[in-house]
């Protein structure tokens, strides 16, 4: 049932795909756009909800909507591409909402944390690992996500304005690369 080795593997695989540490510049940028409030608890809960929905219902939801996993991944890649452009060009495609509710969920919870890459990874993990170990791996990642979201103001102080700006540009290029890889891989995929 529970396997420490499987839990560690699932946790590390999801951690590398989610890349919450690499998302720090985006988190800091969103914090500035929203006056400091990114609603860490809400972002973490929605991210977890999305991950668990994909764990238990992902295949069925996509089939019901008539969307294949490749199209879903390409759509997520386009959103990640736009986020990368925002970071590099200092242009804003995602404007904060007037009510302040959805702007923390999109683009943070979806597609950055629990986007196409995470969803497809979770669907893939089901074929290789026990559902119980995947659940523990997801929960471990949600704790890490919450900690990084909560500590982002301190991380910004440590890095300073210049450090944040450099990280923002570098991770903008990384996001563009991830987006292009997602799009390219799924365009070339032949079922």
CA–CA distance, 121 with 103 (Å, rounded to integer): 25
- pLDDT by residue for the chain (191 residues), tens only, comes to 899 999 999 998 898 788 887 788 888 888 887 777 888 999 999 999 999 999 999 989 889 999 887 887 787 778 778 877 887 887 777 554 545 445 678 778 888 899 877 888 898 788 788 999 999 999 999 999 999 999 988 988 888 878 877 877 887 787 788 778 878 887 876 55
Q: Which domain holds residue 29?
A: 4-188
- DSSP label at residue 96: P
Residue 165 CB-density burial (10 A; 0-12 exposed, 13-18 middle, 19+ buried): middle
pTM, entire model? 0.74
The number of distinct structural domains making up the chain is: 1
Q: Considering all CA atoms of the chain, what is the largest pairwise distance in Å, rounded to the nearest integer?
A: 49
């Amino acid at each position: 049932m529970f396997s420490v080795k499987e839990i560690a593997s699932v946790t590390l695989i999801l951690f590398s795909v989610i890349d919450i540490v690499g998302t720090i510049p985006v988190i800091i940028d969103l914090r500035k756009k929203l006056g400091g409030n990114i609603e860490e608890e809400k972002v973490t809960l929605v991210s977890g909800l999305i991950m668990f929905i994909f764990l238990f219902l992902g295949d069925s939801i996509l089939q019901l909507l008539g969307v294949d996993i490749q199209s879903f991944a390409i759509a997520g890649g386009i959103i990640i591409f736009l986020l990368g452009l925002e970071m590099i060009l200092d242009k804003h495609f995602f404007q904060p909402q007037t009510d302040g509710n959805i702007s923390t969920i999109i683009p943070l919870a979806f597609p950055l944390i629990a986007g196409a890459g995470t969803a497809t990874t979770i669907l893939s993990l089901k074929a290789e690992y026990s559902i119980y170990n995947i659940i523990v791996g997801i929960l471990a990642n949600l704790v890490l996500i919450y900690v990084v979201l909560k500590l982002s103001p301190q991380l910004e102080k440590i890095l300073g304005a210049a450090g944040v700006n450099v990280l923002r540009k570098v991770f903008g290029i990384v996001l563009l690369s991830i987006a292009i890889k997602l799009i390219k891989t799924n365009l070339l995929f032949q079922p």
